[in-house]
């Protein structure tokens, strides 16, 4: 990315919320559960599964965490009633991890039990590195408690990830969106890719079910090679993508017989997620610059 583009991307938090919202609209189903259900119905009709995320993170009040927990129960009831092909993705800090570990674990347990009763899967999203230990512990404790319908996320960016992969049965593998310091994270794009490839290899060697969550063509091709080498059948892995990103490539993967799951966020706490997505969009600097120019010209 050019120097000017990088500066614009870093300045995104200073961009008006109205513009952030407009630019980020393809990445978010909408403010209501109804919007998410509509999007999942359309994805299902195209042969794609979903995982629904109730937007919200770094919650600092118990009542807010409880409200998000209730929202997940509503999601589970609705996807059950509509027989949609979808699970849910949950951020520990949305369920109160920053307030109290045990409070968060209880909220998460209630969601996981509800999901199990309805035959649904719960993916625990991975947030910044200050939460990695607690998130892996939440996952470990739930699995040890007999909850097989729960899985975790590993971030190739973190140096610890290959070691964390050992013994996990169901993992979403991604690069990791949170920028972490060099002491704990790879900074170089090629090193992050190498870590992704090595972790995928280790997980597949171990017989884990992997959600291969990337839009990076090099990594998709590498994963396809690993799948072919091992003669895996389509039930033994899946590709995962974010709503609004490289959907044509997603359709192609499905046409070629692979499973694909799309991450579908909805809700009113759209801001933080939107900024993260925009910072990854290679075209974003151009959009933002064009908007600034339009406003200058109008003046
Ligand atoms: P990269 O960012 O290099 O993108 C590859 C190409 O994809 C780009 O060149 C571009 O063409 C396209 N692209 C990517 N992002 C785009 C965008 N926003 N708009 C337009 N085009 C775009 N992270 C995390 O830390 N914890 C988590 O729990 C999750 N969960 C998660 C679930 C799923 C289903 C996915 C796909 C991703 C995540 N992530 C995540 C995010 C992940 O860590 C990573 O930040 C993004 O997927 C971008 O990395 P890529 O591997 O796609 O490569």
Q: Do the Cβ atoms of 11 and 278 come closer than 8 Å?
A: no
Please state, in angstroms and rounded to a whole number, the distance separating the CA atoms of residues 106 and 120: 18
In a domain, 229, yes or no: yes
* E strand intervals along the chain: 49-54, 86-90, 122-124, 150-155, 170-174, 209-213, 237-242, 260-266
Domain count along the chain: 1
pLDDT for the residue 299: 64
In a domain, 212, yes or no: yes
Pocket of ligand 1 (CB under 6 A): 125-126, 153, 155, 172, 174-178, 213-216, 240-242, 245-246, 263, 277, 280-282
Q: How is residue 222 written in tokens?
A: 């590498």
Give me ligand 1 centre to Cα 214, in Å. 6
For CA atoms 1, 238, 245, 36, give the dihedral sign.
negative
In a domain, 261, yes or no: yes
In a domain, 74, yes or no: yes
The tens-digit pLDDT sequence of the chain (299 residues) is 566 666 777 777 778 888 889 989 999 999 999 999 999 999 999 999 999 999 988 788 999 999 999 999 999 999 999 999 999 999 999 999 999 999 999 999 999 999 999 999 999 999 999 999 999 999 999 999 999 999 999 999 999 999 999 999 999 999 999 999 999 999 999 999 999 999 999 999 999 999 999 999 999 999 999 999 999 999 999 999 999 999 999 999 999 999 999 999 999 999 989 988 988 888 877 777 776 677 667 76
Assign residue 162 a region (left: φ > 0; alpha: ψ between -120 and 50; beta: otherwise). Answer: alpha
Set 172, 193, 259, 277: catalytic member: 172
For CA atoms 203, 205, 208, 209, give the dihedral sign.
positive
- Mutate which of 135, 192, 215 for ligand 1 pocket (most atoms within 8 A of beta carbon): 215
Set 105, 114, 123, 125: catalytic member: 125
Alpha carbon nearest to ligand 1 atom 7, residue? 215
For CA atoms 37, 42, 45, 51, give the dihedral sign.
negative
- 291 labelled catalytic: no
CA distances from 63 to 6, 23, 68, 87, 143 (A): 38, 31, 9, 24, 27
Give me ligand 1 centre to Cα 174, in Å. 7
In a domain, 10, yes or no: no
Predicted structure pTM score: 0.95
pLDDT for the residue 2: 63
Please state, in angstroms and rounded to a whole number, the distance separating the CA atoms of residues 210 and 261: 12
Backbone angles phi, psi at 211, to 5 degrees: -90, 105
What is the CATH classification number for the domain harbouring 37?
A: 3.20.20.220
In a domain, 12, yes or no: no
pLDDT for the residue 1: 56
Residue-range definition of the domain harbouring residue 44 = 29-266
**Beta strands at 260-266 and 150-155: parallel, antiparallel or unpaired:** unpaired
* In the block, residue with structure tokens 């119905």: 41
Give me ligand 1 centre to Cα 63, in Å. 31
* In the block, residue with structure tokens 């870093």: 10
In a domain, 288, yes or no: no
In a domain, 87, yes or no: yes
Give me ligand 1 centre to Cα 287, in Å. 19
Ligand 1 atom closest to the Cα of residue 240 is 34
Measure the N-to-C terminal CA separation of the chain; round to a whole number of Å.
30
- 125 labelled catalytic: yes
pLDDT for the residue 144: 97
């Amino acid at each position: 990315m050019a120097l000017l583009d990088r500066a614009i991307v870093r300045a995104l938090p200073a961009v008006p919320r109205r513009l952030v919202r407009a630019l980020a609209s393809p990445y978010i189903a909408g403010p209501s559960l109804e919007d998410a259900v509509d999007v999942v119905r359309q994805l299902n009709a195209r042969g794609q599964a979903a995982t629904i995320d109730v937007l919200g993170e770094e919650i600092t009040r118990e009542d807010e965490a409880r409200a998000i927990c209730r929202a997940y129960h509503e999601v589970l009831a609705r996807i059950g009633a509509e027989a949609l092909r979808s699970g849910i993705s949950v951020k520990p800090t949305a369920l109160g991890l920053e307030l109290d570990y045990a409070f968060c674990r209880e909220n998460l347990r209630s969601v996981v039990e509800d999901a199990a009763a309805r035959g649904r899967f719960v993916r625990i999203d991975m947030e910044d590195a200050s939460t990695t230990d607690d998130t892996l512990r939440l996952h470990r404790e739930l699995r040890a408690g007999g909850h097989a319908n729960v899985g975790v996320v590993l971030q190739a960016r973190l140096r610890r990830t290959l070691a964390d992969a050992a013994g996990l049965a169901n993992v979403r593998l991604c690069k990791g969106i949170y920028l972490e310091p060099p002491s704990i994270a790879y900074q170089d794009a090629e090193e992050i890719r190498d870590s992704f490839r090595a972790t995928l290899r280790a997980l597949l060697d171990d017989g884990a079910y992997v959600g291969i969550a990337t839009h990076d063509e090099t990594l998709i091709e590498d994963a396809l090679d690993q799948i072919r080498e091992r003669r895996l059948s389509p039930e033994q892995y899946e590709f995962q993508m974010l709503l609004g990103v490289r959907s044509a490539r997603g359709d192609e993967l499905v046409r070629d017989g692979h499973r694909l799951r799309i991450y579908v966020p909805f809700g009113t706490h759209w801001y933080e997620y939107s900024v993260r997505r925009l910072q990854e969009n290679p075209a974003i600097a151009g959009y933002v610059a064009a908007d600034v120019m339009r406003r200058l010209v109008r003046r």
